[in-house]
Copies of this chain bind each other. A is one copy, B any other.
Amino acid sequence: MIRALILGYGFLGKALAKRLLNRPVEELKIVGLANSKGYLYKRDGLQLEKIKEPLEDNEGFEKGRATELLTKEYIDLLIELTPTNISTGEPGITHIRTALKEEIDVVTANKGPVLLALKELKRIADEKNVIFKYEGTVGGGIPIFSLVNKCLQGDDIISIRGILNGTTNYILTRMHFEGLTFELALREAIMLGIAERNPTLDVEGIDTAVKILILANSIMNLNKNLSDVKIVGVTKVTPEAISAAKDNGMTIKLIGSIEDGELSVEPRLIRLNHPLCVHGTLNAINIKSNVLKTLTLIGEGAGESTVASLLNDIYDVIKERHSKIKF
Which residues from chain A sit less than 8 Å from chain B, CB to CB?
19, 23, 25, 141-143, 146-147, 150-155, 272-273, 275, 278-279, 282, 284, 289, 291-300, 304-305, 307-308, 311-312, 314-316, 323-324, 326-327
Contacts and interface: CB of A to CB of B under 8 A. Distances in A.
Number of copies: 2
B278 A315 contact: no
Contacts of A294: 299-300
A291 B308 contact: yes
B300 A293 contact: yes
A312 B146 contact: no
A151 B146 contact: yes
Contacts of A278: 275
Given A150-B146, A311-B155, A323-B327, A141 B305 contact: no
The interface residues of chain A, by DSSP majority, are classed as mixed
A292 B298 contact: no
Contact of A295 (B142, B292, B315): B142
B312 A153 contact: yes
A289 B289 CA distance: 27
Given A19-B291, A275-B278, A153 B316 contact: yes
Given A141-B292, A150-B150, A327-B323, A298 B298 contact: yes
